[in-house]
Amino acid sequence: MNLDATFSALADPTRRAILARLAEGEASVMELAAPFALSQPAVSKHLRVLENAGLITKGRDGQRRPCKIEMAPLNAANDWIERYQQIWEQNYVRLDNLLEALKQDAPEARGKRKKK
């Protein structure tokens, strides 16, 4: 999977909205264009970017060209993000442990300062 192409395609809110619609099921180019204040050629350009990134496929059903979401690139992006999420969660656990240790040491340190 090409993560660069996936993230580049996902960077645009219109393309994310198109993918959200396709997550509900197949739709034609006209159906996908309907909620946007864009021309059909503009929507077609967005679809081409999504298709080149492997995020959608277009079929043929007579005159209709239904688009369908492809999950493999999204799953690969999710896997990549989850790896970094785990790293950050481990960092937060270490920080929590350090803060807890500092809290426990703090009363002793204050008591020692007063005794001097």
d(CA 75, CA 67): 19
Model-level pTM? Answer: 0.74
Q: What is the pLDDT of residue 62?
A: 79
Instruction: Render 5-65 in DSSP notation, one character per residue.
Output: HHHHHHTSHHHHHHHHHHTT--B-HHHHHTTSSS-HHHHHHHHHHHHHTTSEEE--BTTB-
14-23 confidence digits (pLDDT tens): 999 999 999 9
Question: Per-domain residue ranges for the chain?
Answer: 3-72
Q: What are phi and psi of 49, to 5 degrees?
A: -60, -45
Q: CATH classification of 3-72 is 3.100.10.10, yes or no?
A: no
- Per-residue confidence band for 40, with pLDDT thresholds at 50, 70 and 90: confident
Instruction: Please check the confidence at residue 78 and state whether its pLDDT lies above 70.
Output: yes
Q: Give the helix/strand (H/E) hosting 85.
A: helix 71-115
Q: Do 45 and 34 touch, CB atoms closer than 8 A? A: no
Classified as helix, coil or strand, 2 is: coil
Least confident of 44-48, 60-64, 90-94: 60-64
pLDDT at res. 105: 83
Helix (H, G, I), strand (E, B) or coil at 66: coil
